[in-house]
Structure 1
């Protein structure tokens, strides 16, 4: 019961994250193409475009990591894991999820602290509050935590890894 609720929540969050990733990726490509056009064809520069593209890339990276984690698309070395007994695999999998969850909690706590620390600073060109840019760290940590808890509960309830 709890696994199905967690899986639905994790899938729903990831669904919207992937739409957001598409929109941000498309926006970034359009922004960079526009900047190239302005710079080399019109001999003008959009002074704010590089900064915005950089911040979009940061957000794409963190949100993309959560989407990759959800889809198990992250790189891994499983030479030893494949040779383990099923019982040892399950223990190993649970430990991996516990360590991952711990790191996601660290992302949330320290990401929030860092965003709070720079709350009065603004970005040079866009004059955006820096906390908006840095808020992606605890946000992605929370999304990763949802996925991690889902994977942990699933691993604990499965009889075979």
Structure 2
């Protein structure tokens, strides 16, 4: 039962990660390319909001990319010690996972508080597109929750010996 639940969560998260990252990058790429082409082809036409779109996409992809990094076991961690002392590999992997759980918990807590605070400010909108900023801040607790669950799944896989630890 737990295995099926973890597998369903993993597939759902993978779908959300892959498609949201794909769509965000395509939007940023098309917007930036259109702006460059228009700027070079004409001297008067410029998409004034393209820089803002690219900045927001970088923000989004950074945080959602963290969740994808947990899935592929690509988060930054110290791997010299396990190579020097192989007996410490499981312990250091556990410490790494616990650090990610603490980080993601902080992201949920602070991200929720920040999102709520920005939501209360009716003037907190993006400079050119006038999109409410709380929408972008909502990525933080969402990412934190996804990262927390994904890390728990990876920890269970490691515990059962099915992880692809390197």
Q: How many Å separate the matches in 2 of 1:37 and 1:140?
A: 34
Instruction: Indicate the structure whose relative CO is greater, using CA pairs within 8 Å and at least 6 residues apart.
Output: 1
1:65 aligns with 2:66: yes
Question: How do 1:54-93 residues align onto structure 2 when only pairs under 5 Å count?
Answer: 54-86=55-87, 88-93=88-93
Corresponding residue to 2:149 among 105, 121, 146: 146
Q: How many Å separate the matches in 1 of 2:95 and 2:78?
A: 16
Long gaps (5+) in structure 2: none
Alpha carbons of structure 1 residues 159 and 33: separation in structure 2 relative to 1, 3 Å = closer
- Name the SS of the counterpart of 1:72 in structure 2: coil
Deviation >6 Å, runs of 4+: none
What is the CA-CA distance between 1:72 and the residue it aligns to? 1.5
What is the CA-CA distance between 1:113 and the residue it aligns to? 0.8
TM-score (norm 1): 0.87
Contact conserved, 1:94 with 1:156, CA < 8 A, in 2? no
Alpha carbons of structure 1 residues 26 and 159: separation in structure 2 relative to 1, 3 Å = closer
CA deviation digits over 1:24-60, x for unaligned, max 9? 1111100000111222222222222211221111111
What is the CA-CA distance between 1:144 and the residue it aligns to? 0.8
Long gaps (5+) in structure 1: none
Partner of 1:24: 24
What is the CA-CA distance between 1:156 and the residue it aligns to? 3.0
Q: How many Å separate the matches in 2 of 1:57 and 1:99?
A: 24
Q: How many Å separate the matches in 1 of 2:22 and 2:86?
A: 40
Q: How many matched pairs?
A: 160
Corresponding residue to 1:132 among 131, 135, 154: 135
